[in-house]
Amino acid sequence: MGAFGGRHEDRLAEFQEFATTAGPRLFRTALLLTGGDWHQAEDLVQTALAKAFASWGRVRRADNRDAYVRTALVRVHLSQRRLRRSTERPVEAVPDRAYGVPGDPALRVALLAALAQLSPKDRAVLVLRYWEDRSVEQTSSELGLRPGTVRNRSMAALARLRELLGSERESLTAI
């Protein structure tokens, strides 16, 4: 038995028929959820239908297939909003070149090279505190250090990192 159970072709045809008829209704709902963003709405529908396809055996037994998939659509939308996966923002004009964005490869390479020169414990403190956004208490617990030690290591490691970055530090802080 495949992912659909029973006769694969029959169940595939059943899903395709459902997707074809439910798709426009789902799209209208998605369009309203996304505030009229056509592309986001298409992505939401595609994701909801993919989830329905993956669990079609359960969906096909539901009392109301449309409601089942619409619930999946809303949950995907809320999840994406909550996680803020998309940081894209529309702009009037695309810049001619990339500039000091957090994903700038040159800055990333410089920062990683400087971090590699720190002691493993100092690097761990900085990564947990600033990249992973952990509190002093969480960091101290994860590393088995006292909170005062974490604070002292953070200050010393940041000072050392600033020294290692030298002139590149200005371009890092410009973002």
* Percentage of residues in the chain having pLDDT higher than 90: 29
- From CA 41, how far away is CA 66, in angstroms rounded? 17
Structural domain that includes position 136? 105-173
Q: What is the pTM of this model?
A: 0.46
97 in any annotated domain: no
First CA to last CA distance, the chain: 55
CATH number reported for the structural domain that contains residue 21 in this entry: 1.10.1740
pLDDT at 85: 47
93 in any annotated domain: no
CA distance to 23, 52, 121, 147, per residue, from 142 (Å): 47, 40, 12, 11
26 in any annotated domain: yes
Q: Indicate whether 96 pLDDT > 80.
A: no
- From CA 81, how far away is CA 59, in angstroms rounded? 25
Summarised one tens digit per residue, pLDDT across range 10-35 is: 889 999 999 999 999 999 888 887 77
- From CA 19, how far away is CA 31, in angstroms rounded? 17
Residues 4, 56: contact at Cβ < 8 Å?
Answer: yes
98 in any annotated domain: no
* Percentage of residues in the chain having pLDDT higher than 70: 78
49 in any annotated domain: yes
pLDDT at 58: 92
88 secondary structure, DSSP code: -
Summarised one tens digit per residue, pLDDT across range 135-164 is: 899 888 777 789 999 999 999 999 998 888
Helices 8-33 and 65-83, packing angle to 10 deg: 50
pLDDT at 125: 80
